[in-house]
Structure 1
Amino acid sequence: MEQCDLSGSLRSMLLCCLILAGCNIVDPGTPEPSQLDTSYRTPDGYYRQEMARLMAQGLQIRKVVRINGQQDSSMVTDSTALEALFRPLMDADVSKPSLADGYRTDTIANQFSSDTTFIIRSLGKQTWPYQLIVDVDNRGRIKTAQVSSHTRNLMYRYEQEVFYERNKALRVSTFQQIIFMKPEHMEVEALFYPSTYKI
């Protein structure tokens, strides 16, 4: 008889706990402002979102191109030209399931700023890029991204360095040389300015 009362008491306590827990459930459709954005996005998806944000903000984007010492500049006015600038970041294959064992990831948390740095490095397989370093703020937004890639064999040498700083600049430096031909060095720098800034 005592055992039955104890079992009934346990049931009552569990029922109360479930009811109380149900009262504290937050509607997942309305996240709180302080909630971190933990949604998964591929590099392509993330930078498409970045491009849409830059275009929506109406930022002025000035592109400077240097090829073997010669320089030219122009304004980026459409999404197609902007996508061409972001392409080296968008094409990173770090999120491909088939290459899950092709990279090593190190994570460094900054206790003072709550930022996190992810260092993703190739383990020697045929991957692109060789290394990706991403600084992410406490809201899940990329502050800076650095991409290093290289290919070298008897016939061809290719190196590329990409640096993106949110709302400020995107720089792409590319060097390539085919055997018996002159090397080519190209730098593309995109600078982001507020719409009110006079360039």
Structure 2
Amino acid sequence: MKIYPQVTVLFTIIGFMACNQANKTSKDSGQDKFAALPAYFSQENAHIRTNDVTLFKTVILNGKKDTASISGNDSATVHDLLKPFMDADLNKPSLRDEYDTSSLYDPFSGRKSVIYKSRGKQTNPSEVTMELDKQGNIQQVNIHSYTSNLVYEFRQDLFYQQNRQVRMTTYQKIAFLAPKELEVNVTIAPKKGM
């Protein structure tokens, strides 16, 4: 009869060790569950600033249009342009289990589309779609965000095409105030020789 208490203690210790190991594994694997968009856009930020490019920017705010040509070497402008993309970090602990992942594969070109879609109604971003080349490198990113309640509505669509284009459209409506609509289109082009 003295064997039973020892066996019970042994199994209890093994059970605690197994649970502890399972918790460590699930915590470690949850950190890299989604593509690291902040790291990708930090690399793109550096890539745009170090290459000899010009940014052709068009801004439309509530119907009023303004255009500008900016050097890609302007680090503040490039950072501000890519910041909304960098902020879309699906690997935040608060968002860890908030997205379903699906993908579509094109067997002819080898390209792949990866879609992260929110499980909740008010999770931001609500959807992220990435287009990957056959080597698995991100070529294009679409990010959609939506928030709505009794006093506030916010919609934002972000589009990034590597080495070509950035597009942002934002709609914001606060109760008793006129809505604000902002559209930013930026074309990334090599500088022309003098």
Q: Shorter-chain TM-score category?
A: 0.7 to 0.9
- Matching of residue 49 in structure 1 with residue 43 in structure 2: yes
* Residues 67-146 of structure 1 aligned to structure 2 (within 5 Å): 67-77=61-71, 78-124=74-120, 126-146=122-142
| AA matched with 1:196 | K
The alignment's TM-score, normalised by the length of structure 1, stands at 0.75
Closer, same or farther in 2 for the Cα pair 1:197/1:147, shift >3 Å? farther
Map Cα deviations across residues 68-100 of structure 1 (whole Å, 9 max, x no partner). 110111233311111111112111131224422
Q: What CA distance in whole angstroms lies between the structure 2 residues aligned with 1:134 and 1:119? A: 6
Q: What CA distance in whole angstroms lies between the structure 1 residues aligned with 2:102 and 2:35? A: 19
Q: What CA distance in whole angstroms lies between the structure 1 residues aligned with 2:149 and 2:132? A: 35
**Which residue is 1:65 aligned to?**
59
Contact 1:102 1:125 in 2 (8 A): no
What is the SS of the residue equivalent to 2:120? coil
1:197 is displaced (CA, Å) by: 7.0
**Which residue is 2:185 aligned to?**
189
What is the SS of the residue equivalent to 2:144? strand
The alignment's TM-score, normalised by the length of structure 2, stands at 0.76
Contact 1:43 1:92 in 2 (8 A): yes
1:125 is displaced (CA, Å) by: 6.4
Q: What CA distance in whole angstroms lies between the structure 1 residues aligned with 2:106 and 2:50? A: 31
Closer, same or farther in 2 for the Cα pair 1:168/1:70, shift >3 Å? same
Contact 2:38 2:89 in 1 (8 A): no
Structure 2 gaps of 5+ residues are: 1-33
Flag the structure with larger Rg. Answer: 1
Contact 2:49 2:78 in 1 (8 A): no
Closer, same or farther in 2 for the Cα pair 1:76/1:95, shift >3 Å? farther
Map Cα deviations across residues 23-80 of structure 1 (whole Å, 9 max, x no partner). xxxxxxxxxxxxxxxxx96211110101111222211111111001101112333111
| AA matched with 2:97 | D
Closer, same or farther in 2 for the Cα pair 1:178/1:121, shift >3 Å? same
Q: What CA distance in whole angstroms lies between the structure 1 residues aligned with 2:110 and 2:89? A: 27
Q: Which runs of 4+ in 1 moved over 3 A?
A: none
